Amino acid sequence: MIWIQEINNMAEDIRNMIQTTGIQAFEKKYENPDVILVDSQYCSMGRMIAVKACENTEYTYYDSVLLLELVKDTGITISDVEQFEKQLRSKTADLSEMDSEQFKKIQDAFILAIRRATTKGKCLIHDRATVRMIQDLNLSCISVMIRNSGTHTKCIRASKSPLYQTITDEDTLMTCIQEEDHIRRNWKKLCGEDTWNQSASYDLILDSEVFTRDFSAQILHQLMI
């Protein structure tokens, strides 16, 4: 006869919690990472949140424009990046047909910029870096995704952009917003990372519709102090 021990499936009573003092598995200490990577949906206010979060910390904020300022010697400009990214606006873009030589020049410029940025000290990088890039530099990092679940508020923000300020139809604005997100997703795919905006691939996810711009910045700020 086989005896099976009965398992008690009742929830633990927190009032009878075991003593965890001295047990390392319970007492791991948080350490500020060398780099914080922030991806964001278009019109989630990701850049605003990231810049605000870096205030009064030892972290320096970088995005595409600021990274390229570190590598002027490469000759790659933000105009080169924007021109290349016009090919990435579709969800069904055939990435295999992209100009691989031009992409490599742009990617190499960003990789060099990331290396130079990280040698200057701790930093937050918006959009252009992947976890693998930072790991290859033997640096620690935390990855963050900033989303916004408010369709209407995203459209209002998009209508304030110089790119889309002449568009008044909300459906058209949403199409533009989605195309901007395709650019970000496809760029990461070209960099070998097919996990943009996938929850399981980030350490922290912030919905700026729920947490608002300023409180999201406060939460992100806590990772740096």
Question: What's the per-residue H, E or C state across 63-100?
Answer: CHHHHHHHHHHHCCCHHHHHHHHHHHCCCCCCHHHCCH
- Mean pLDDT, 10 residues at a time, the chain of 225 residues: 53 80 91 98 98 99 98 98 94 81 95 98 98 98 98 97 95 97 95 95 98 99 97
CB 141 within 8 A of CB 36: yes
Q: For the domain 37-194+207-222, what is the CATH code?
A: 3.40.50.300
Measured CA to CA, the distance from residue 151 to residue 157 in angstroms comes to 10
Write down the pLDDT at residue 99.
72
Residue 148 in contact with residue 208, Cβ under 8 Å?
A: yes
Alpha-carbon gap, residue 117 to 124, rounded angstroms: 9
pLDDT value of position 91: 86
**pLDDT value for 10:** 59
Query: CA–CA separation, 92 vs 89, rounded Å?
Result: 9
pLDDT of residue 6: 54
Asked if residue 140 lies in contact with residue 34, where contact means CB atoms within 8 angstroms, the answer is yes
